[in-house]
Chains A and B, each alone.
Chain A
Amino acid sequence: MKEVVYISGVPSAGPDLPMLLGQVARGDQEAFGSVYDAVCGPVLGLVRSVLRDPAQSEEVAQEVLTEVWRTAARYRPERGGVMNWVLTLAHRRAVDRVRSAQASADREHKAALLDRTPAFDQVTEQVEARLEREQVRRCLRTLTELQRQSVTLAYYQGLTYREVAELLTVPLGTVKTRLRDGLIRLRDCLGVST
Chain B
Amino acid sequence: MNAELHTLTGAYALHALSDDEREEFERHLGDCEACTQEVRELTATAARLGLAVSVTPPPEMKAAALRRISTVRQEPPVAPAPARPVAARFRGRRMARFALAACMAVTAGSAGVAVWQHQSADDAQQQARAAQQQSEQLAGVLAAPDAKATTGQLAGGASGTLVVAHSKNQAVFVASSMPKPPSGKVYQLWFNDAGTMRSAGLMDPSQTTEAVLLSGPVDKASGMGITVEPSGGSPAPTSAPLALMNFATA
Residues of A within 8 A of B (CB): 2-14, 16-19, 22, 25, 27, 29, 32-33, 36-37, 40-42, 44-46, 48-49, 58, 61-62, 65-66, 69-74, 76-81, 83-84, 87-88, 90-92, 95, 118-120, 122-138, 141, 151-152, 154-156, 158-162, 164, 173, 175-184, 186-194
Contacts and interface: CB of A to CB of B under 8 A. Distances in A.
A45 B16 contact: no
Nearest to B81: A22
B15 A8 contact: no
B215 A88 contact: no
A154 B161 contact: no
Contact of B74 (A5, A25, A180): A25
B40 A80 contact: yes
B204 A6 contact: yes
Contacts of A81: 44, 90-91, 94-95
Interface in B15-65: 15-18, 37, 40-58, 61-62, 64-65
B103 interface: yes
B115 A7 contact: yes
B159 interface: yes
Given A22-B84, A128-B102, 7 more contacts: A6-B116, A6-B202, A7-B202, A9-B204, A78-B86, A118-B53, A156-B53
Contacts of A69: 69, 72, 74
B51 A132 contact: yes
A49 to B, nearest CB: 5
Given A159-B16, A179-B10, A192 B56 contact: no
Nearest to B56: A124
B8 A176 contact: yes
A44 B138 CA distance: 27
Contacts of B17: 160-161
